[in-house]
Amino acid sequence: MPTLTATQAMQAPQPLDPLRFPLSGRSLIEASAGTGKTFTIAMLYVRLVLGHEPSAAQPKPLTPPEILVVTFTDAATKELRDRIRARLNEAAACFQVAPDAVKPLDAGKTDLLHALRSEYPPADWPACARRLQLAAEWMDDAAVSTIHGWCNRMLREHAFDSDSLFSQTLETDQGELMAEVVRDYWRTFMAPLDASDAAAVAEWIPGPRALQSQLRNLLALASQLPAAAAPEASLKASRDERAICLARIKAPWHAWPDGMTAVLDHARDQKHFRPANMRKADCDRWTNALREWANDPASEKPSLNSGWSKLTPGGLKEVCAEGAPVPAHPGFVALETLNAELDALPTARAAVLSHAAQWVAERFAAEQARRAQMGFDDLLTRLDAALHGPNGERLAEVIRQQFPVALIDEFQDTDPVQYRIFDAVYRAEAAAAWRALILIGDPKQAIYAFRGADIHTYLAARRSCDGRLHTLAKNFRSSDAMVDATNHCFDVAEARAGEGAFLFRRNGDNPVPFSAVSAQGRADTFVVNGAAPRALTAWWLPPADDGKPTTKTAYLDRIAAGCATEMVRLLNLGQRGDAGFASDNGLQPLRPADIAVLVNNRGEADAIRGALAARNVRSVYLSDRSSVFQSAQAAELQHWLAACADPDDGRLVRTALSTATLGLSWAELDARFGNEIAWEACVLQFRGYHECWRRQGVLPMLRRFLNDFGVPARLLGTHADGRQGVAGGERILTDLLHLAELLQQASAMIDGLHGQIRYLADQRAASDDSDAGSDAVQTRLESDGDLVKVVTIHKSKGLEYPLVFLPFACAHRPAKATDMPLKWHDEHDELRVSLDGESGVLDRVDHERLGEDLRKLYVALTRACHATWIGMAPLDELERTAIGYLVCGGQPLAAGELESRLQTVLGASANIAVVPAPDPGDERFAPRADEACHGAARQSARVVREPWWIASYSSLRTTGQSHREHTVPDTPGEDGFNEASDAERDVDDEQAAQALRDALMSHANASTLHDFPRGSEQGSFLHDLLEWAAAHGFARVADDRDALREVVARRCSVRGWARWIEPLTDWVRQIVSTPFVLTGGHGIEPTSIALSALSTSVGEMEFWFAAQHVDTAVLDRLVCAHTLDGAERPPLEPATLNGMLKGFMDLVFEHEGRYYVADYKSNWLGADDTGYTTEKIRAQMLRSRYELQYVLYLLALHRLLKARLPDYDYDEHVGGAIYLFLRGLNASTQGVYAERPPRELIERLDALFAGTAYIQHPEAEVQ
C-alpha cells in the first residue's frame, strides 16, 4: 500500500473517543458502515445535555431545543429522536445509582456511561440524573429535523431577518404549476415556429409534456447552462452550421460513387464475389443513392439499407470468394464512419433546452412569488439567499444563538446549497466555546448524485475542518469473517498504484481512502449442515459457447435462476433445521425474511422475483423510486371510480365488475349481466357508492366497496371456507388502501367526483415518465411477514440483513451522450454541466459514474451481518463496472480469464470463495404452510366499443366538419368549453382573420367587447362568469358591482388578464341588467326580458333522456324542415343515437307565464357591432347548427313541463329559445336570436327518441 505523505498523515482521521471529542468549533466524523454512528450521536447528545467538555473552564449544559440535529429523511428523524431519548433515559438511570451501589465492571469490559459518570463527583449525580431525565421528557420538542423542515422553520420564525413573506404556502406538489409554465413556454416560443422548424423540434421534443420531462433535471442547473437565443434564432443558426458541416462531409462524395461503381463492376467481372452476391442492380442502386445524396444539398442521409454494411471493407470481405482480392476504394473506408458523422451533425437541441430551462426557471419563480408559494427545494434556496443577503450576518447570529450546537447527520449526501447554509451560520471565525458544527458522514457511501448530492461539496467541507477529522473504525454489524472479506475486496484496489479504491487519489492526496475497519464480532454464526460457509462467495459464469463475452440478457437470466436455486436450497435446509444462525441459545432456522437481494433497478428486481416465484418463494420489492400510481391497481381504481361516479352508465359498471381484483368468475359476471333483476341490483349498489362518495368522501366509499365485494378476504386468504389468498394479495391490498388515502387527501382541494377521477388519471400519466416525487406516493411495504426482500441498493443504505445476495454485481449503465444533463467536476472540483456529448466530456462523466458505482458496491457489500453472494460474468467492458475495477484495476479482461483473475485477486482471502455459479434447478421451496400460486389474467389490447353510448349536442357532427374529439361533458363547465371550442372552429377563418387584423391595427389598446381575445378558453371563461351570476342571483350581481369585480379580478389575475378586469365587470353587469327586446316572429311572442328582473330561473340545468336507435338523418330532416324557415344548412353525418342524450342548458327561466331556454354564445362575428346583424347571426346559427341544440333543449324542457304541470300545453307554456351573442350586446339586434319551433316538431321528436314512431315516408311526414 502506498505510504502516507506528511500532509496525508496530518489530514488522516483520528480514532474518535466519545468522551474526549471536542464540543466546540467545526469537526468531521467519518463513520464507516456499521460502526455505530447513531450510537455516537446519542452519546455526544448526552454530553451536550450535561455540558461535559473537559477542556472548558465552565460547563454549559444545553437543552434539547438548543441542540440542532439534522438528518435527511423523516424516517431517520424519528429513529434518531427515539434513539437519543432512549440513551438519555439510560444515562439518567446510570446517574441515579447510589454511589455505594456502584459495582465495578468485569475485567476487559468498558462502559461509556460508567466512564462518564466517574468524571463527576457523586454529589453531582442526582442533578445530572435530573437534567438527563428532563431532557428525555423534552425530546418531543427537540430540534431533531430534516434539512427541509428546519429551513422551513427558520424562514417562518425569522421572516423579518430572512426577508420572507409572513404568509407563504408550502406546496408539496407543484407539478401543475410547472406544467402550466411549460405550456406557456410552448405557446410563446414553439407554437409560432414554421413547419420545418417545428418538425425539427418535434424530433427531440414532441410536445409540452415531453419538454417538461426533459427539463426535470435541468431546472436546478439553469444558472449553469450557457445562455442561448430563442428557439427560432437557435434553429436558424444550427441550420446554417449544419449545412456547412454537411457540405464538408459531402465534398469527396461527388466523385466517389463513380469510382466505387467502377471498382465493383471490375470485381464482379473478375468473379471476385461469391455467387448471388453484390448483384449489379443492388450495387448501382446503392451508388446512385450516394450520388443523389451528394448532389442534393437538402438531403441529409442516403437511403442505403443493407448497403451501409455491404459496401464497407468488412462487408466486402465477407462476400468475396476465397483468395479473391477485396475491392478497395476510399469511399468504402469512409462509409464505415459516414453514418456516425451524419448522426453527429450539429443540432439546436442543446440551445433550445438551455433557453427553455432558463426561461421556465425564471417564470416558475415569478409565478411562485406572485402566488406566495414555495416548494421543498425553495426552502433551502431561500434560506441560503437570506444568509448571503444584506441581513445575512444578523440572521446567522440569531440562528447561532438559538442553536449553539448543530450535528449534521448523513453529511456525505449534502449539496452545495445545504453546505452554504451551515457554513454561513457556523462559520469558522464565529467559533467559540459551546458553539459547534459537527458533521457526520461517510464519503464511501455518497450514492445520491441523482438527487443532487455532491461528494465534492463534502470534500470542501472536509477541508474546512482544518484537520479536525475523526473516524469510527470498529464494525458492530457484521461477523469478523464478513468484515475481513469486505476489507480484502477494497484493500486490493487501494494498494494498487493509481487512483485508489474510490478514484480520488491524485497528486499524492487521497481524500476518500479505504481504511480497513476492525470487527466487534457477533454472538451468532451462520451455519449450513453444521459448518460456517465462507463470508463472501463470488460466483462466476463462463463465457458464451463461442468464447465471446456473455450478453447482458444471458447474464440476467442465468444468474437470476442460479441465485434463486441456491436460495431455495438454503431455505429448504432451514426448514429441516440444517441451516440457520447458531448461538448459545441454539439454532435459529433460516427463514425467507433473513434474506435480502440487492438490485439496481426494477428490471433486475423483476428478473430475480420471477425466478423466485417460479420456485414458490414469496418476495417483496422495496424501492424509493417506485410510485404507487404506476401500479396496476391504480388503473383498476380508475375504473371503479368512474362506475361509482356514473352508476347509470352500464358500460362503466360492467368494466368495474370485470376487473381482476374483484375476482368475479365468468359465471358470476354472466349472472349479473344477463339477469335483469340482478343487473338492477348492481346498478342500485353502485348508486349507493355514489351517494356514499358524495356525502362521506372517497376513502369511506372505497372501504365499503372493498368490503362489499370481499376483496380483503379474497386477497389475503381469510375466507370462512378456508380458501387460500391470491399471490401478491398483500401487495394489491396495500396499494389500493394507499391510493384511497392519497385520493382522500387530494379531495380536500379538488371539486367534484369527476375532478378526483381526473386527478388520479393525471397522476398515473405523470408517473409514467418520472420517479416517485415524494415519500407520500412511494410504494409501501405490504407486509412485514416472512418474505425475501428484494431491495434497491439505494433503499438498502443504512439497513442491515443477515444474508445478502448481489446477483447482478456486473450490471452497469455507462454514460451516454443522450443523458441530460452531463455533469462532471473539473480539476478544481467545480461542477460543470453540458448538454452535448463533446469529445472528452463523456469520459469524464463516465469516470464519475464509475466512482459512484464503486461507492454503491461498498454500500452493498456492507449490508450483510453474516454472508454475501455476488454474481459475476465475463461481460463486454467488464473493467468499466465497479466490481470489474476492483478485480481488474480498470484494465480489459479477456472473457476466458475471469475465473483465474477472481481466484488470484479475491481467492487470496480465506473468507472468500470463488466458485462457478449454481446451475438452475427445479427444486421448489416447501414451507410448512405452502401457498398456491395463481397466474395473472391476460389483458385485452383491443378497445371494445359498445353500440350503446351517451351522446350530447357536441357529439353530433356535420358533414365536412373537422373531427371533434369531445367526450360527453361531465360538468357544465366542460360543456361550455366544448361549445366555445366549436364556436372558434366554425368561424370563416380568412374573413375572421382579416377582420381581426384590421381591428388590431386600429384598436391596439382598445378594451371593448369585440376586442376581448377569442378562443375556447376565453369563451369558457365568459360562460363560467354568467354561470356564477345565475347561481349568485342576477339581481344581486346587477346591484353589487364590488362583489362582481372581486370575482372577475380573481379569475382574471390567474390568467394574466389584468387589463380586462374593469371592461369585463361592466360587460357582465350590462348583460344581466339590459332588457332584451324580442320583436316577435318565428313563434315568439313580443316581450322584453332583463335577466336581473327574473323571479324564477335555473342555471346549468342538466338533462338526460333516452334515445332509442334514433337515426340522425331522420332527426336532421325534421329539424331542418321546421326551423329557420327551412333554410339550407350543413347536414349531420349519418349516425345512430342509441343510449342516452345528455346536456346542460345555460339558463331556464319563467317570464310572464312562459318558460324559456337561453344560451350564451361568445362567438366573434366581426370587429364591431356591424358584425351582429340579423342576417349574420342567422348565418352563424345555420353554420354551427345551433338550431339543433335549442330544439333538443326545448324537447328536454317539454318533457320536464309535461311531467310537472298538470294542465301543460306546449303552445301556452313554452316561450321558446333565446340565443345571446354576447359580443353583439350593443348592436341594434342586441346579439339576440329567438325562435319557438312548432309543437308538431317537438312532439315528433318526442316520439322519435322514445322509439314509438316509425317514419316510413319522411318526405311526406315533414311537408
Please state, in angstroms and rounded to a whole number, the distance separating the CA atoms of residues 12 and 20.
18
Q: Are 327 and 267 in contact (CB under 8 A)?
A: yes
Taking the CB of residue 10, how many other CB atoms lie within 10 A of it? 11
Tracing cell 338523418 back to the chain, one arrives at 1113
Please state, in angstroms and rounded to a whole number, the distance separating the CA atoms of residues 436 and 130.
25
Please state, in angstroms and rounded to a whole number, the distance separating the CA atoms of residues 357 and 377.
16
Taking the CB of residue 1127, how many other CB atoms lie within 10 A of it? 12
DSSP 451-517: GT--HHHHHHHHHHTTT-EEEE-EESSS-HHHHHHHHHHHHHHHHSSSSTTTT--BTTB-SS-----
Nearest in space to 340 (alpha carbons), one of 249, 255, 247, 236: 249
Q: Are 1166 and 1172 in contact (CB under 8 A)?
A: yes
Nearest in space to 699 (alpha carbons), one of 626, 748, 768: 748
Q: Are 1226 and 1110 in contact (CB under 8 A)?
A: no
Per-residue 3-state assignment (H helix, E strand, C coil) for 260-302: HHHHHHHHHHCCCECCCCCCHHHHHHHHHHHHHHHHCCCCCCC
| Widest pairwise Cα distance in the chain | 119
821 cis-preceded (ω within 30 degrees of 0): yes
Cell readout for 136 is 428525555
Please state, in angstroms and rounded to a whole number, the distance separating the CA atoms of residues 894 and 547.
9
Nearest in space to 987 (alpha carbons), one of 1024, 1009, 1027, 1016: 1016
Q: Which helix (H) or strand (E) holds 1234?
A: strand 1232-1235
DSSP for residue 1069:
H
Q: What angle do helix axes 676-696 and 650-657 make, rounded to 10 degrees? A: 90
List beta partners, residue 1139.
Answer: 949, 1107
Instruction: Assess whether 1159 carries a catalytic annotation.
Output: yes
Q: Are 463 and 816 in contact (CB under 8 A)?
A: no
> For strand 1214-1221 and strand 1232-1235, is the pairing parallel, antiparallel, or unpaired?
antiparallel
CA 920 distance to own-chain centroid: 37
Cell readout for 348 is 439546436
List beta partners, residue 26.
Answer: 437
Q: How many CA atoms lie within 13 A of 266 on its CB side?
A: 12
* Burial profile 1089-1098: b = 16 or more Cβ within 10 angstroms, e = fewer: bbbbebeebe
Please state, in angstroms and rounded to a whole number, the distance separating the CA atoms of residues 727 and 617.
11
Find all residues with CB under 8 Å of 82, minimum gap 6, and list them.
Answer: none
Of the residues 1159, 1169, 1209, 1246, only one is catalytic, namely: 1159
Instruction: Report which residue type is found at 1173.
Output: T
441, 443, 447, 450: CA torsion to nearest 10: 90
Taking the CB of residue 699, how many other CB atoms lie within 10 A of it? 17
Please give the C-alpha separations between residue 1072 and each of 976, 1091, 1097, 1158, in angstroms, as whole numbers: 19, 5, 13, 13
Q: What angle do helix axes 231-250 and 349-371 make, rounded to 10 degrees? A: 170
Catalytic residues: 1159
